[in-house]
Amino acid sequence: MFLCSRKPVVYDLSSEKVTERIPILKECITIKQEDFVDQAIQWALGKVGSTEYRLRCLAFVEDAYEQGNRIEIFGGSNAKESADMYEAWRNTTTPPKGSFVFYDCSGLVQDEVKHWGHVGLCVGNDEVIHAWDKVRVDSYMEIENLKPAPGWTKPQYIGWVPIERILEGFHKKDWEQYD
């Protein structure tokens, strides 16, 4: 993916693993897809043990990419909506590093019971970092065995979404100005 104009244009450059070019003084610098993934994972791992994202799993994985890479991405308003929008059900094999891994579950949030879903970020080796009772790392299939909060159902694996789909339409953003 290149971003050298006001509107992102998507090109298939998977063999070159180039995901973005950013205009700087009329030049473009290249950022590799692995860099986006590694920076997101590094940011997320820095939150392990934190309860800051309890009941906010989608915000956590989006922040990993956004804060870790100074970009803004666009998804649904909750994990289940994002899973449906991204068609996560199409990819049910072992998730690759950097992918969003989605689960279906329902429960009570602010006096509303519905299918909110759950999502984590694959860090590789079948492991997912996610915000549950706290930010933690678990095997992507073991997440189905986690004890749900009172009034919640156990998460059921839906599938995963590749980094290329997650980054569609992203743009650069300086998050420090919002702190």
Average pLDDT over residues 4-33: 43
User: Which residue has 């939150």 as its token pair?
Assistant: 47
Going by C-alpha positions, the residue among 78, 49, 33 that lies closest to residue 61 is 78
pLDDT tens track for 64-81:
999 999 999 988 999 999
Radius of gyration for the alpha carbons in the chain, expressed in angstroms and rounded = 16
Count the neighbouring beta carbons within 10 Å of the beta carbon of residue 65.
26
The predicted pLDDT at position 174 comes to 75
The predicted pLDDT at position 32 comes to 79
120 vs 158: CA distance, rounded Å? 12
Query: For residue 24, what pLDDT band results from cuts at 50, 70 and 90?
Result: very low
Amino acid residing at 14: S
Query: For residue 151, what pLDDT band results from cuts at 50, 70 and 90?
Result: confident
Going by C-alpha positions, the residue among 39, 5, 38, 3 that lies closest to residue 18 is 3
- pTM of the entire structure? 0.81
More confident residue, 109 or 40: 40
Asked if 95 contacts 37 with a C-beta cutoff of 8 angstroms, the reply is: no
> 55: exposed, middle or buried (C-beta count within 10 Å: 0-12, 13-18, 19+)?
middle
